[in-house]
Amino acid sequence: MYSFVFPLQVVVDTSVIMAVLAREPSRKRLIEATASMAFVAPSSLHWELGNALTARMKRGKATLEMVQGMLRDYTTIPIRRAEVALEHVLDVAAAENLYAYDAYMIACAQKYRLPLLTLDAQLARAAAAANVSLLDW
């Protein structure tokens, strides 16, 4: 008889990815806590990450060379991109008074019935209010 072990799937948001890429103090703990997990994210993660990287340059926290290195590191993180319906995203945004980027994360977690991993306290509160479980790391 075969025994299959499937990794815990979790919706990961941009705050987590940026903490790892920017080598923030939480990086090591995040990597250790999620080593056996499979990441899922809405397609919007890609665009939100681009926005976060350019924001680092605009604020003088990173050079183009630095963000290009972060982008290379990002491409090594296995993340399954998932589609969510824009109509559902708008419903979530209206119900929780959110911008679309945050609503995408909640809608993704709801659609696939997965916990959310975020470092964003406001997103965590909105997710909890929307009955999305949060991954305690």
Per-residue confidence at 60, pLDDT binned at 50, 70, 90? Answer: very high
Residue 101: which domain range? 8-129
In a domain, 42, yes or no: yes
CA 20/CA 25 separation, integer angstroms: 9
In a domain, 120, yes or no: yes
The Cα-based distances of 22 to 26, 41, 56 in angstroms read 10, 19, 10
In a domain, 137, yes or no: no
CA 132/CA 121 separation, integer angstroms: 14
| Mean pLDDT value of segment 16-34 | 95
In a domain, 3, yes or no: no
Express each pLDDT in 72-118 by its tens digit: 999 999 999 999 999 999 999 999 999 999 999 999 999 999 999 99
In a domain, 97, yes or no: yes
The whole-angstrom distance between residue 92's C-alpha and the CA centroid of its chain comes to 17
CA 30/CA 38 separation, integer angstroms: 13
| Token pair 């705050």: residue | 15
Would you state the pLDDT for residue 1?
Answer: 66
In a domain, 31, yes or no: yes
How many domains are there within the chain?
A: 1
CATH classification of the domain holding 81: 3.40.50.1010
| pTM for the predicted model, two decimal places | 0.91
Per-residue confidence at 3, pLDDT binned at 50, 70, 90? Answer: low
Tally the C-alpha atoms within 13 A of residue 73's C-alpha that lie toward its C-beta: 15
In a domain, 2, yes or no: no
Would you state the pLDDT for residue 41?
Answer: 98
In a domain, 134, yes or no: no
